[in-house]
């Protein structure tokens, strides 16, 4: 089954089982070489931007909100450097995912599905689906809490509303309306940005104190555990899977695509800008908590953090924060479901309706909201489950982007590959450590 753009970026399978470029993409690469590395800017570049901003929503979901506020309220500016390092790693990983999709014309799940047995594809899909459900759980709980804070709605009712609105948003995904879907998600990302940084305008932080947080250091075991949690939960599996799809879905409906070299250049800028925005939001959340909530009790939950913000900065800022949380939930849960649909398509070769994929991930979250006495605790458990899925996404990406038979001249060089190995090993190790610490009750 071919996806949009496969004819422009398709591959032929050789006798050795490896996929080799079809003549179309090879001609395109030859033409790109004659351009001496020059790419077109202006409107051409503007048309490439967008996919990374959709993927970046995964980095400002309710789980990140809770972690960053807790870090700032407990340790002040101590762990600012952790977010800076985490964001730098995220830029590399998301670009690698985009690069894989651009060069091969296929998503990471599709490439995995082509190289696995039927049993392997099914088992891989099952773990990915559990990860998708855990992802949606965090977003759903965050949105339900936001509606509870804004309108006093019961959490279950709020979850139903979030599910319904996000399903409507997903109706615009794919085909000629895909660009509209991107614009709506980016608009929500801007709402998130304003909602989470508004407090800094009311109570500006001390620049010298913030700069001091850029120096790597800790203040005991607890701060090390917090840093481990922040770093380990930085990269979301569904964002890795989805970005390799987004770069191709961006040109749906037979729209003319730029050359591979132009797409890669534009994707670099797209990723840097998008992750810079998402990283800035996370950094502002930590700084807001460090500046206004430091040492306050009860900020370990989203509700407690919001109440503390209302107490310190006033009800207007508290309301704006809740609106940002709501936008975070709506955008994140839509993007998470989109990723789940593409994982199913790539691994099982089933193109299920988006609403059906939405129901699969929504129902478990609603059950948790109905029965769980402490939704924030369920959110934490969901974040731990997400950690389990990291190696399954990042290790194949590491392998494929270095495969010259698959990537051709665009395969990673040795230096970049070694850097990627180091980043991947650090993230996987931290996630394993986070899981172990949670199981032993230390996290």
pLDDT above 70 covers a percentage of the chain that reads: 86
Residue 254: per-residue pLDDT: 64
pLDDT-derived band at 78 (thresholds 50, 70, 90) equals very high
- Between 372 and 11, the higher pLDDT residue: 372
Cα–Cα distance for residue pair 317/201, rounded to 1 Å: 10
Is 40:47 a contact under the CB 8 Å cutoff? no
Cα–Cα distance for residue pair 67/82, rounded to 1 Å: 12
- Between 110 and 385, the higher pLDDT residue: 110
Query: Of 151-155, 232-236, 337-341, which one has max mean pLDDT?
Result: 151-155
- Between 377 and 126, the higher pLDDT residue: 126
pLDDT-derived band at 153 (thresholds 50, 70, 90) equals very high
Mean pLDDT computed over every residue of the chain: 84
Residue 80, phi then psi, degrees to nearest 5: -55, -40
Cα–Cα distance for residue pair 274/57, rounded to 1 Å: 9
Residue 98, phi then psi, degrees to nearest 5: -60, -40
pLDDT-derived band at 443 (thresholds 50, 70, 90) equals low
Cα–Cα distance for residue pair 340/3, rounded to 1 Å: 16
DSSP assignment of 95-144, as one string?
Answer: HHHHHHHHHHSS-HHHHHHHTS-HHHHHHHHHHHHHHHHHHHHHHHHHHH
Whether 250 has a pLDDT exceeding 50, the answer reads yes
Cα–Cα distance for residue pair 347/132, rounded to 1 Å: 14
Residue 376: per-residue pLDDT: 66
Whether 233 has a pLDDT exceeding 90, the answer reads no
Is 232:433 a contact under the CB 8 Å cutoff? yes
- Which burial class, exposed, middle or buried, applies to 169 when counting CB atoms under 10 A from its CB (0-12, 13-18, 19+)? buried
Is 330:162 a contact under the CB 8 Å cutoff? yes
Q: Where are the beta strands (DSSP E) in 321-369?
A: none
Domain ranges of the chain: 48-439
pLDDT-derived band at 32 (thresholds 50, 70, 90) equals very low
CATH number of 48-439: 1.20.1740.10
Interacting residues of 235 by C-beta distance below 8 A, sequence separation 6+: 89, 90, 93, 390, 394, 427
Q: Which two tokens stand for residue 46?
A: 């503007």
């Amino acid at each position: 089954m071919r996806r949009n753009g496969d004819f422009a970026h398709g591959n032929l399978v050789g006798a050795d089982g490896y996929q080799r470029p079809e003549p179309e993409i090879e001609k395109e690469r030859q033409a790109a070489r004659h351009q001496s590395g020059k790419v077109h800017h202006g409107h051409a570049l503007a048309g490439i931007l967008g996919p990374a901003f959709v993927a970046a929503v995964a980095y400002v979901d309710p789980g990140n909100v809770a972690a960053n506020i807790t870090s700032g309220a407990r340790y002040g500016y101590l762990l600012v450097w952790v977010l800076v390092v985490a964001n730098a790693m995220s830029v590399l990983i998301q670009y690698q995912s985009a690069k894989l999709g651009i060069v091969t014309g296929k998503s990471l799940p599709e490439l995995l599905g082509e190289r696995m047995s039927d049993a392997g594809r099914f088992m891989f899909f099952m773990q990915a689906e559990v990860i998708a459900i855990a992802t949606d759980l965090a977003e759903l709980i965050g949105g339900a809490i936001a509606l509870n804070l804004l309108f006093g709605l019961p959490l279950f009712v709020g979850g139903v509303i979030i599910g319904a609105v996000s399903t409507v948003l997903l109706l615009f995904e794919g085909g000629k309306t895909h660009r509209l879907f991107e614009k709506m998600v980016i608009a929500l990302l801007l709402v998130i940005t304003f909602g989470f940084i508004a407090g800094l305008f009311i109570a500006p932080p001390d620049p010298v104190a913030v700069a001091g947080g850029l120096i790597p250091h800790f203040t005991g075991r607890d701060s090390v555990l917090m840093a481990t949690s922040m770093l380990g939960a930085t990269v979301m599996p569904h964002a890795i899977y989805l970005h390799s799809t987004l770069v191709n879905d961006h040109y749906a409906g037979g729209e003319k695509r730029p050359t591979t070299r132009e797409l890669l250049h534009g994707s670099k800028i797209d990723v840097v800008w998008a992750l810079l925005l998402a990283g800035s939001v996370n950094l502002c959340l930590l700084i807001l908590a460090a500046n206004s909530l430091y040492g306050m009790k009860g900020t370990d939950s989203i509700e407690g953090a919001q109440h503390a913000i209302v107490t310190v900065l006033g009800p207007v800022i508290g309301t704006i924060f809740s609106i940002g949380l709501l936008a975070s939930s709506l955008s994140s849960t839509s993007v998470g479901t989109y990723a789940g649909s593409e994982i199913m398509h790539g691994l099982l070769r089933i193109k299920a309706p988006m609403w059906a994929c939405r129901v699969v991930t929504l129902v478990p979250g609603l059950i948790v909201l109905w029965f769980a006495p402490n939704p924030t605790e369920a959110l934490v458990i969901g974040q731990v489950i997400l950690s389990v899925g990291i190696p399954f996404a990042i290790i194949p990406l590491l392998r494929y982007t270095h495969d010259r038979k698959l990537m051709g001249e665009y395969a990673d060089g040795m230096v970049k590959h070694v850097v990627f190995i180091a980043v991947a090993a650090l993230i996987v190790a931290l996630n394993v450590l986070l899981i172990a610490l949670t199981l032993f009750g230390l996290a």
